[in-house]
Amino acid sequence: MLYVQETLDRQTGLLATNTIGEYVTVTELGDNYRVGPKRVRVILHHMGVLAAEGRRYRLPRAFVERGLGFRHDNPRSKHPFDVLSPKCQALIAEAWDDTVADLDSETAPTMHRAKAALDAFRSTRRRELTTQEAVCWLCDHHPSLLHRQIADILGVTPQLVSKFTKLRAKQRQIDIARKAQLEQRDVVLTMTTSLLRSSRNDHHGRAPREHSV
């Protein structure tokens, strides 16, 4: 996205528009390097470009002041995001290959441990796990693994891993909704039973009326 900057010309009193360059979102940068949204953020965090803020990786405000990009904290989409300046993109390009290699060397032991744990679990079962079951098992027991890493462990494509993780998330939402419905039904049944008991107790506790002749 092409960004411009408007400055006031004090002599004419008019706004002058100056082009400051082509900015890209973090996800768009990942597309340029053919990596997914999660992977590019992990790489940029390892590089030091992004910092952890809650559950997100964001461009630090100090970097904004240095001209490395802009933060959009309250966009209309309600999902905060950052854009990276041409200067920042150039710095990333210089460090990209070394950062990826360093990150992969650090994550290799994690992948080996995950694969060993999966093989141990498989050995206890009477039948072989399906690919979908293996994906779900790795997601449950090793949530820090990226789709690409799970794909490498299982010898499948990242797209297939992504498909199964989406199905897993959808099934979990269905299970959560079903559990909430059952809990709500139990509450209603408990309240109904309590009201019926209370009504019976009131009925039996009433004294008989005396009838005058």
Beta-bridge partners for 15: 8
Average pLDDT, the chain: 85
Handedness of CA 2, 6, 7, 11 (dihedral sign): positive
Q: Could you tell me the pLDDT band of residue 203, with boundaries at 50, 70 and 90?
A: low
Residue 146 has pLDDT above 90, yes or no: no
Q: Which amino acid type is present at position 60? A: P
pLDDT at 33: 95
Number of H helices, E strands in the chain: 7, 7
pLDDT at 191: 77
Distances (CA, A) of 169 to 143, 158, 172, 173: 13, 16, 5, 6
